[in-house]
Structure 1
């Protein structure tokens, strides 16, 4: 049964499609953060290893939340690597080295890119698609990523 929540089916489909892209970005960022956790090297290995673990755990919760938002709007969440790679705007390629600083820079760039995309969609969801709930939800996601980016940025000072 389709949701009857005051948003047209067409708008719900557009919201779900946008959220699918966000979920793909979250998955790629999660995978890159796992990579940092597993492969970081250097003098601060242990503290960096634990830091990246805390970040990928946060991203895991975010991914689940985005997928559940998609489902609450009556659509299915993408759940294959192929679909994630076709929907993401992030690159899974690591452009930096395996040092802590390299991973911090790489992940910070991805978080900041995602923050910009989320910020651009807030008014689109509210004004164009008449979905204030998703607009509010995406605002919360953006704030989570802003905090995660701050933590990464602080390691680079």
Structure 2
């Protein structure tokens, strides 16, 4: 399992002590869970954007627009997640190799049909929701309210996206 990196568990890379009321150990644990959230979120973002570009069929306009709405929102969230990791004193993962080690989901290798795209995105949003719940639990255990708030908002988005996508399949 890839680890979130920091030059010191209690200091920034310039040696400044971080004293925000969360222990170094808890900050590292929360940052690691957030790194997994970032990896899953980035993978889902990339998949959603890919499907936006490549969807075809009778639901083209509906799915093209829905996917654009979803990937645009996801793109904005990536920055919030990465910045929270940095606020905890750790470096945010930012390479495909790191995401490959951290993510619980994978992007498809080919372009599926529209119905399969929707199924993949339902599963992807549900997987991100599960990752968010695990990170949220870690944040609650550390009394890290900003992380809990961030993850609560992400859960709402991904559960709603999964529901909307699932409704297309019914």
| TM-score, structure 1 as length reference | 0.89
The alignment's C-alpha RMSD in Å is 1.7
CA drift at 1:143: 1.0
Residue deviations 1:95-132 (CA, integer Å, cap 9, x gap):
8x6322111111001111221232233233212x3323
Question: Which of 26, 33, 46 is matched with 1:18 structurally?
Answer: 33
Aligned length: 155
Superposed counterparts of 1:1-150, under 5 Å: 1-93=16-108, 98-127=112-141, 129-150=142-163
| TM-score, structure 2 as length reference | 0.83
More helix by share: 1
User: Would you say the 8 A contact 2:125–2:158 is kept in 1?
Assistant: yes
Q: Give the secondary-structure state (helix, strand or coil) at the position aligned to 1:79.
A: coil
CA drift at 1:155: 1.6
Mapped partners of 1:99, 1:41: distance in 2:
7
Q: Give the secondary-structure state (helix, strand or coil) at the position aligned to 1:83.
A: helix
CA drift at 1:56: 0.6
* Structure 1: stretches of 5+ with no match in the other structure: none
Mapped partners of 1:154, 1:26: distance in 2:
22
Mapped partners of 1:2, 1:20: distance in 2:
22
* Structure 2: stretches of 5+ with no match in the other structure: 1-15
4+ residue segments displaced more than 4 Å: none
